Amino acid sequence: MSAEDSAGPLSHRRSWSPGVVQQVGPAGTVDLGPGYLEPGLLPVDLLAAAYPAALAEYGSAALAYGDDRGAVPFRALVADRVARAEGPPCGPDNVLVTAGTSHALHLLATGLAQSGEVVLVEQYGYDYGRRILADRGLRARAVPMDAAGVDPAALDEAIATTRAAGERIAFAYLAPTFHNPTGLVSPVGRRRELLAVAARHGVLLVEDDAYAELGLDGGADPVSLAGLAGYRGVVRLRTFSKTLGPGLRLGYLLADPAIVGRLAGTGLFTSGGSANHVTSLAVAWLLRSGEYDRHLGWLRSRLRERRDALAVALGSGLEGVVEFTTPAGGYFLWLRSTHDEARLVTAAAAAKINALPGSRFGTGPQPTVRLAYSLNPPSALTAAAEALGRCWRALSSLERTHP
């Protein structure tokens, strides 16, 4: 496979029939909205090999009820992978297999929280994540961020204020690495400060690391909050949705064995076993064979091309209209503007480009827009950026004329 396999955004989107996949952009529109991978980046052939390989290896055990926390071979592989990447010891007892990050958040919201409690969230954050919490009656309360992520002093104050008002805090939910939507990576110093605040107050941190393996600039991935804390007081959520495909519905969480045991010791797991048994064994085969790492390297290169195509083309000629910091990983470019976000998004739509208003993810001092570079090939992203440049510059001159 190579980037040239991509035959353009429309043909790919059309290959996703409505009714099979979750959402298909309107025909003729370049979709920079959802955090999806471009169809040509999803490793269909690898999975077509992995399932039969797992079924051959494990036989009937792959179709039986899986160990409640997840099959040990899978848990051992991911624990070992994390320990090698980050240093602090991590073993199978730190791992619970989930059906992805949404499922993990839902599990935490049902298993570790009570309706009416507060969840501290980032000023900007994953919109559907907050909806999962709200569905369970949890009340999200936003904590201000700065250029390094969540502000530790603001977190400290939010905890104190919430508790002073007699409210209980279920946990704080944050994504310090290749943050959705801003692309931010909190440096290690900031991470330690956040951990110290949480530990001082005894507040559990839930670390959403959906994009953490998607660093695009070749450096080492940042050590997770969970790793820094030795898996005490932090539940780290990981998923294969952003690297292998969300249709697998496979992820895992890393936590203290007591929390893993508490989540798995429920009727849901006692009855059904592993959250996604046969798929976890298929992915275990990809991990052990090295195919996952080869794919990940390839995917990072493809995403780097896409990020660069969008960032370079947007970066020229939109000074004073939108500004952004090129993210070091993940799927998204986060634009700040002086223009009203609705005007930006509407102008983009008129140019047949779907962009998401930043207010969907939170609010701050400036209007914002999120653009995903994950769903289109570089040439389409370059063309889209040029079109955005034209329509947004036109908006600016229009506003100068008719403010």
Piece of the chain touching a copy of itself by CB under 8 A; list 50-58, 150-158, 172-180, 380-388: 50-58
CB of 53 to a copy of itself, least distance (A): 9
Positions in 115-154 near a copy of itself (CB under 8 A): 115, 128-136
Q: Is the Cβ of residue 39 or residue 181 nearer to a copy of itself in the bound state?
A: 39
Which one of 9, 25, 29, 47 is in contact with a copy of itself (CB under 8 A)? 47
Q: Is 141 helix (H, G, I), strand (E, B) or coil?
A: strand
Q: Is 252 helix (H, G, I), strand (E, B) or coil?
A: strand
354 SS3 class: strand
Exposed e or buried b for every residue in 81-114, given b needs 16+ CB within 10 A? Answer: bbeeebeeebebbbbbbbbbbbbbbbbbbbebbe
- Interaction with a copy of itself in 79-118: which residues (CB under 8 A)? 99-103, 105-106, 110, 115
**Which residue, 46 or 318, is less far from a copy of itself as judged by CB?**
46
Report the site for a copy of itself in 163-192 (rule: CB under 8 A).
Answer: none
- Of residues 374, 56, 142, 80, the one with CA closest to residue 242: 374
Instruction: State the nearest-atom distance from the C-beta of 279 to a copy of itself, in Å.
Output: 7
Nearer to a copy of itself, 31 or 151 (CB): 31
The nearest distance, CB 129 to a copy of itself, in angstroms, is 7
Q: Under the criterion CB under 8 A, does residue 11 sit at the interface with a copy of itself?
A: no
What's phi and psi for 21, nearest 5 deg? -100, 170
C-beta closer to a copy of itself: residue 115 or 161? 115
Element (H, E) at 334: strand 332-337
Query: 176: which DSSP letter?
Result: -
| Beta carbon nearer to a copy of itself, 53 or 344 | 53
Q: Binding pattern to a copy of itself, positions 264-303, x when CB under 8 A?
A: --xxx-xxxxxxxxxx-xx---------------------
Residues 231-260 that bind a copy of itself (CB under 8 A): 241, 244-249
Minimum CB distance to a copy of itself, residue 243 (Å): 11
Min separation Cβ 25 and a copy of itself, Å: 12
For position 12 contacting a copy of itself by CB under 8 A, the verdict is yes
Rounded-to-integer distance, Cα 213 and Cα 240, Å: 10
Count of residues in contact with a copy of itself, rule CB under 8 A: 78
Beta carbon nearer to a copy of itself, 152 or 246: 246
Contact 195, 168 (CB under 8 A): no
Q: Which of 161, 112, 157, 160 is nearest to 138 (CA)?
A: 112
Residue 103 or 304 having the CB closest to a copy of itself: 103
Residues 53-82 that bind a copy of itself (CB under 8 A): 55-56, 58-68, 71-73
State the nearest-atom distance from the C-beta of 211 to a copy of itself, in Å: 15
**Shortest distance, position 382 Cβ to a copy of itself, whole Å:** 22
Q: What is the β-pairing status of strands 169-174 and 149-150?
A: unpaired
Quote the least distance from Cβ 145 to a copy of itself, whole Å. 22
- Amino acid in position 283: V
Nearest Cα to Cα of residue 9 among 306, 268, 318:
306
Per the CB < 8 A criterion, the answer to whether 77 and 50 are in contact is no
Residue 66 zone, left/alpha/beta (φ > 0; ψ -120 to 50; rest) = beta
* 123 and 359 Cβ atoms separated by less than 8 Å: no
- The residues in 207-236 that bind a copy of itself, with binding defined as CB under 8 A, are none
Burial (CB < 10 A; 0-12, 13-18, 19+), residue 57, is middle
> How far apart are CB 28 and a copy of itself at their closest, in Å?
20
